[in-house]
Amino acid sequence: MREFLLTLPDRPNDAGTVARMRGYLEALGRPDVRYLVGAIRGGGAPIIARYARAVLSAAGATVAALGDPLDEPLIAIAGTSVATIAYQLASDRRELGDPSRREIETLIAFVAHAEASRRILLLVDEEIDARAPVHGALPDVISIGRASDGAVAAAIADAPERRPVILAPRDAAGIDAAMRQRALPYVLGGRDFVVTAAGPVLGLSVGDERYSDLALGAGDDPGLAATGIVTALAVAALGVRMRPEWVEQGARAAAARE
């Protein structure tokens, strides 16, 4: 399998990348619908992902990220499926074009985490790159960290319909109109959830819930950490039981970078 990957072109993402990924995922039986998908975009995405993952893991969910190492049996199973489809689509759907090495590696990860029966997969797009292979998967929740107004508008514009969006604290100007135009449910930091921080302690108010003593890691941006926690709560609303003590436990794990 590793020899097969080395034969593939290592080229940048292009205009056909996402369409190609979706064509391959369809042919593979949509492994991305076998787990919940959280797409985390923009500056600070790794911090958001760390806190979201820790809280969801504390709730007992099996959480994976795209860059997690895969064991050899999983690579063999997933790689064989992807390689078989690659050969088939090369003749049946030539309009898709040839996949790059990065696209095939991403497909293998999508299939492998489905085979491993993961409950949640977190995808990171720090650059807000609409051509990134991760966007072949259909996200259940979208989280947007720090980004320019233009980049946030682009992320909103290419969000799938009816998917909830969590935005890190920012000025609300322009957000309401963009969300109404897309009819997307959303939660905006600074308005729908409020963050306070004092040294290593984070306070978070979201809806009727109040968390006054959540751990905050040294150097972690409070707004991004809180966005990660709210992202975890949004994902959990789709089928993961959550309790306040698990939020607290997850924040401690994330702050300690466990």
Q: In the 3-class helix/strand/coil scheme, how is the chain assigned residue by residue?
A: CHHHHHCCCCCCCCCCHHHHHHHHHHHCCCHHHCCEEEEEECECHHHHHHHHHHHHHHCCCCEEECCCCCCHHHHHHHHHHHHHHHHHHHHHCHHHCCCCHHHHHHHHHHHHHHHCCCCEEEEEECCCCCCCHHHHCCCCEEEECECCHHHHHHHHHCCCCCCCEEECCCCCCCHHHHHHHHCCCEEEECCCEEEEEECCEEEEEECCEEEEEEECCCCCCHHHHHHHHHHHHHHHCCCCCCCHHHHHHHHHHHHCCC
Alpha-carbon span 226 to 36, nearest angstrom = 20
CATH number at residue 10: 3.40.1190.10
Alpha-carbon span 225 to 232, nearest angstrom = 11
pLDDT of residue 174: 87
Work out the pLDDT band at 239, boundaries 50, 70, 90.
very high
pLDDT of residue 3: 67
pLDDT of residue 6: 62
Domain count, the chain: 1
Work out the pLDDT band at 9, boundaries 50, 70, 90.
confident
Work out the pLDDT band at 40, boundaries 50, 70, 90.
very high
pLDDT, average across residues 55-63 = 98
pLDDT of residue 69: 94
Range of the domain at 130: 2-255
Alpha-carbon span 205 to 60, nearest angstrom = 23
Work out the pLDDT band at 124, boundaries 50, 70, 90.
very high
Q: Is 145 left (phi over 0), alpha (psi -120 to 50) or beta?
A: beta
